[in-house]
Amino acid sequence: MVTAYDREFLTGTVGVLILSLLTERAMYAYEMLQEAERRSAGAFHLKEGTLYPALHHMERAGLLKAAWRESDAGRPRKYYSLTAKGRRQAESKRRQWKSILSAMRAILGDAGA
Amino acid sequence: MVTAYDREFLTGTVGVLILSLLTERAMYAYEMLQEAERRSAGAFHLKEGTLYPALHHMERAGLLKAAWRESDAGRPRKYYSLTAKGRRQAESKRRQWKSILSAMRAILGDAGA
DNA sequence: GTATGATACCTTGCCTAACAAGGTATGGTG
DNA sequence: CACCATACCTTGTTAGGCAAGGTATCATAC
């Protein structure tokens, strides 16, 4: 379900997306890929080449912390969770996202509703 | 009112923004800058270095056409309007934008509402 | 027994959009 | 005369998203 428009619209949203998912619970990267796809009914298809570097970057920035856990089958999984700084960032980003949303609505008229 | 977050969130939205403004009426670039700022109550501060290249690109792509008109005072203004192709594009982009919006809502939970 | 696909992690290199910072020109206001 | 708002534009940098590759484990199918 990867269409050409994904990219232009997705740009900049990946950060908020990760922060929001991790606000709910700790998750591993592969799980995030599936969750994003499932919840958007296939509209989003987060790419691995986008997600992994983003996670590493956010970990370096002190927003996330990672912990390996064994799984019943297959390779161990690397679970990410929010640090205190990450939780503050999540809150802040969400507020910003809302403000951008309403601004877009104002500019687009009913088109953005 | 330029804040650091503008960029990440704005990415990819400029195209839709232009198409939507021009759906209403022909406008010149400087006017678009003001309109975007006014309607969003200062939340958006479209940059000239973003807008002008975007307009030129969209004109080359056959989405817009430009026409110079004299003004009572100052320099002549370059009015942009949608071509037939541009109108189709505007419709299509708006639909995509809506689908992305609802996908984001689904992922963010009430955070995106 | 081996091929394939799902799971699960990762990196390198390219492309393009957004921006900062600069430039030109005109008219009005202090 | 200086300065600001209007109005157009360009160049160079940066950073984010992605395609395409790679590694390893396990289950299923043939």
Separation of B73 CA and C29 C1' (Å): 15
Task: Kindly list the residues from chain B whose CB atom is less than 8 angstroms away from the CB atom of residue A108.
Answer: 16-17, 20, 94, 97
Does the pLDDT at position A109 exceed 70? no
Q: How far apart are the C-alpha atoms of B55 and A89, rounded to whole Å?
A: 34
For residue B110, the model assigns a pLDDT of: 62
Asked whether residue A2 carries a pLDDT value surpassing 50, the answer given is no
- How far does the CA of B67 sit from the C1' of C26, in Å? 19
Question: Which tokens hold the place of B33?
Answer: 């800058």
Closest chain A CA to residue B9: A12
Judge contact between B93 and B15, C-beta under 8 A: yes
Number of domains in chain A: 1
- Chain centroid, CA A38 distance in Å: 13
Burial of residue B16 (number of CB atoms within 10 Å: 0-12, 13-18, 19+): buried
B111 band by pLDDT with thresholds 50, 70 and 90? very low
Give the residue nearest to nucleotide C6 (CA to C1').
A74
Helices A14-24, A84-108: inter-axial angle, 10-degree rounding: 130
Top pLDDT among B80 and B13 is at B80
Averaged pLDDT for residues A27-32: 96
Q: What pLDDT, on the 0 to 100 scale, is given for residue A4?
A: 35
CATH number for the domain spanning A90: value is 1.10.10.10
Work out the average pLDDT over A8-34. 86
Q: Return d(Cα B31, Cα B52) in angstroms, integer.
A: 12
Chain D positions within 7 A of any protein Cβ atom are 5-12, 16-22, 24-27
**Residues spanned by the domain of A34:** 5-112
Report pLDDT for B52: 96
pLDDT at A5: 41
Place of tokens 């203004």: B77
> What average pLDDT is seen over chain A?
83
> pLDDT tens, A61-92?
999 999 999 987 778 999 999 999 999 999 88
Nearest to B29 by CA among B62, B58, B4: B58
CA A41, chain centre distance (Å): 16
Cα atoms in the Cβ-side hemisphere of radius 13 Å centred on B23: 20
Burial class (CB within 10 angstroms; exposed 0-12, middle 13-18, buried 19+) of B10: buried
- Across chain B, mean pLDDT equals 83
Give the single-character DSSP code of A86.
Answer: H
Identify the band that residue B72 occupies on the pLDDT scale cut at 50, 70 and 90. Answer: confident
Question: From its phi and psi, is residue A12 left (phi > 0), alpha (psi between -120 and 50) or beta?
Answer: left
| Chain A neighbors of B106, CB-CB under 8 A | 39-41
* Contact across the interface for B111 and A94, Cβ inside 8 Å: yes
